[in-house]
Structure 1
């Protein structure tokens, strides 16, 4: 009886270690994917912020031009 129990326990321990290794590897791959996605989102957020600043600058320019045109039209009246 003891001759059968020891190999079974060893096989179960090896199987548990292999399964644990697979689970850790899966978690590692999952974390890498999440980090890549986060990097893409950060890049997108940075690009969006830059575009927003550019649009705000252009809008301020347009407001100045419209004000100048309004002044010109008022002076013509």
Structure 2
């Protein structure tokens, strides 16, 4: 009887270890996938910031052009 209990305990410990290893492996894989996705989001955010700087420059240029057109129209009156 004691031998059977020990055998069952050893089998349960081995199965528990294998289960823990498999869970840890898939958790690691999920973490790696999340890291790749976050790197892509970071790249997209940096690209958006760069594009925003370009757009701000264009808006400032258009603002200057509109001001010059307004001053031209006021001088015609």
- TM-score normalised per structure 2: 0.91
1:26 Cα offset (Å): 1.4
1:52 Cα offset (Å): 0.9
Count of residues in Structure 1 that have an aligned counterpart in Structure 2 = 77
Aligned pairs for 1:61-76 (under 5 A) are 61-76=61-76
Q: Out of 53-62 and 33-42, give the one that drifted further.
A: 33-42
Unaligned runs of 5+ in 1: none
SS at match of 2:25: helix
Aligned pairs for 1:1-77 (under 5 A) are 1-77=1-77
Find the aligned partners of 1:76 and 1:22 in 2 and give their Cα distance. 80
Please list the CA deviations of residues 26-73 of structure 1 after superposition, one character each: whole Å capped at 9, or x if unmatched.
Answer: 110111111111111111111111111111100000000111111111
Unaligned runs of 5+ in 2: none
- TM-score normalised per structure 1: 0.91
